[in-house]
Amino acid sequence: MHEANRLLLVDDESGLLDLMRRYLTRLGYEVDAYTNAHAALQRFESQAGYYALVVADLSMPGMSGDELLSQVLALNPRIHILVCSGYQFSKARFPKEVQKQIGFLQKPFLPKMLAEAVEGLMQGPPGSADPS
């Protein structure tokens, strides 16, 4: 029961999170946005099969982005993930079988760059895209 346009956004920077949510909503995506990784994970746990993509920061208080994304992948190993971070990122921190469905967007970024990264991941079937 996969919703083709449903996204989960997780970033502790509330201003950036709101901008991403509004921009992606205008592009036609249904967006659930959270500044708290624990709350986002609870939402994902209850509806793991309904999301097409998770967009998450790596550096968040309470739960790291790595921990959040590892748990998300455990619940839905075919989910697409877009990591947005100001820090360096390597897909090698994740199991090889899921690396192809993970993209990276370096902060700061322009809205157009976010749209291109999301669309690049969303174009392929779950577990098949690699926009980076």
pLDDT tens digits along 72-122: 999 999 999 999 999 888 888 888 988 899 999 999 999 999 999 999 998
Q: In this structure, is the dihedral angle defined by the CA atoms of residues 14, 53, 131 and 29, taken in order, positive or negative?
A: negative
Please compute Rg for the chain using Cα positions: 13
Residue ranges of the domains in the chain? Answer: 6-122
At residue 128, the pLDDT reads 42
Is pLDDT of 69 > 70? yes
Which class is domain 6-122? alpha beta
At residue 124, the pLDDT reads 58
At residue 3, the pLDDT reads 62
Instruction: Report DSSP letters for the chain, one per residue.
Output: ---TTEEEEE-S-HHHHHHHHHHHHHTT-EEEEES-HHHHHHHHHHSGGG-SEEEE-S--SSS-HHHHHHHHHHH-TT-EEEEEESS---GGGS-GGGGGGEEEEESS--HHHHHHHHHHHHTSPTT-----
pLDDT digits (tens, 9 = 90+) for 21-61: 999 999 999 999 999 999 999 999 999 889 999 999 988 88
Q: What is the pTM of this model?
A: 0.88
Q: Which of 26, 3, 11 is nearest to 115 (CA)?
A: 26
